[in-house]
Amino acid sequence: MTVETEQHCDFMHVDFSGTGRWYGQCTKGRASGMGYGVVRDAGGGSMEYIGNTSRGLASGTGAMIIRLVGKSGASYFAGEFLHGQPDGVLIVEETGKPSGLRKFKNGEDKGKGDSSLLKTLSFASGWSKPDSLIP
């Protein structure tokens, strides 16, 4: 992943006003490709995302954390996104609720998700054994 901190690259979420900041691939000033982004709204809520984007929105495989003002804790979603919304089977974790797999369509929860359809980020590493990290 290429991170260009000097370049301003917009990142957005449909439920938050304004634009956030994106660190990763960028096309025409908008998040486009793999990276990390954060959006804060005027009320103090926030959304963090790592994964794939298109046209400034989460789109593809990724993981998202949403914190809302007046709500304790956060909501975590991992799986597929489309146009900034959960779309497909996702792992969902919310404060005070059991975590589980849910199926979404255009951001709307459609019920229990099928684990065989879950797609998540994979983090590749350049080392083969944990002890290879010891100096």
**Which is higher by pLDDT, 52 or 8?**
52
CB 16 within 8 A of CB 38: no
Residue 17 lies in a domain: yes
Per-residue pLDDT band at 67 (split at 50, 70, 90): very high
Instruction: Please report the pLDDT score of residue 44 as a whole number.
Output: 85
Per-residue pLDDT band at 123 (split at 50, 70, 90): low
Query: 101 pLDDT exceeds 90?
Result: yes
Residue 128 lies in a domain: no
Query: 7 pLDDT exceeds 70?
Result: no
Residue 3 lies in a domain: no
Expressed as residue numbers, the domain containing 102 is 10-121
> Tell me, what DSSP letter sits at residue 113?
P
Alpha-carbon distance 49 to 13, whole Å?
Answer: 10
Over residues 1-17, the mean pLDDT reads 73
The tally of domains found in the chain comes to: 1
| Angle subtended at Cα 48 by Cα 14 and Cα 92, rounded to the nearest 5 degrees | 85
Over residues 58-76, the mean pLDDT reads 92
Residue 135 lies in a domain: no
Query: 62 pLDDT exceeds 80?
Result: yes
Residue matched to tokens 């794939």:
52
